[in-house]
Amino acid sequence: MTISRDDLEASLRDIQDVVVTTEEDAKANIAVIVGAAVVVAVVVIAYGVWRSRRKRIHIQVFQTT
């Protein structure tokens, strides 16, 4: 069995197409992952600020007679 140059080239082009497609999918997924990470970070920071302000609110009631 012999492998011709054309067969080998066709197989390598198929592999290259799969690699390029996978790379494009990975780039699209990384954008979604980074976006989700930014949203989570903003929510965590906002929650921390909200809790710290809530702890600082003190209402004192004095009874006068």
In tens digits, the chain (65 residues) has pLDDT values of 788 999 999 999 999 999 999 999 888 889 889 999 999 999 999 998 888 776 666 778 888 87
Q: Judge whether 7 lies within some domain.
A: no
| Long-range contacts from 19-24, C-beta under 8 angstroms, 24+ separation | none
Q: Which domain holds residue 34?
A: 17-65
Q: Judge whether 2 lies within some domain.
A: no
Helices vs strands, H then E, count in the chain: 1, 0
Q: Judge whether 32 lies within some domain.
A: yes
The count of structural domains within the chain is 1
At 47-65, the pLDDT tens digits run: 988 887 766 667 788 888 7
Q: Judge whether 57 lies within some domain.
A: yes
Q: Judge whether 8 lies within some domain.
A: no
Q: What is the pTM of this model?
A: 0.51
Q: Judge whether 5 lies within some domain.
A: no
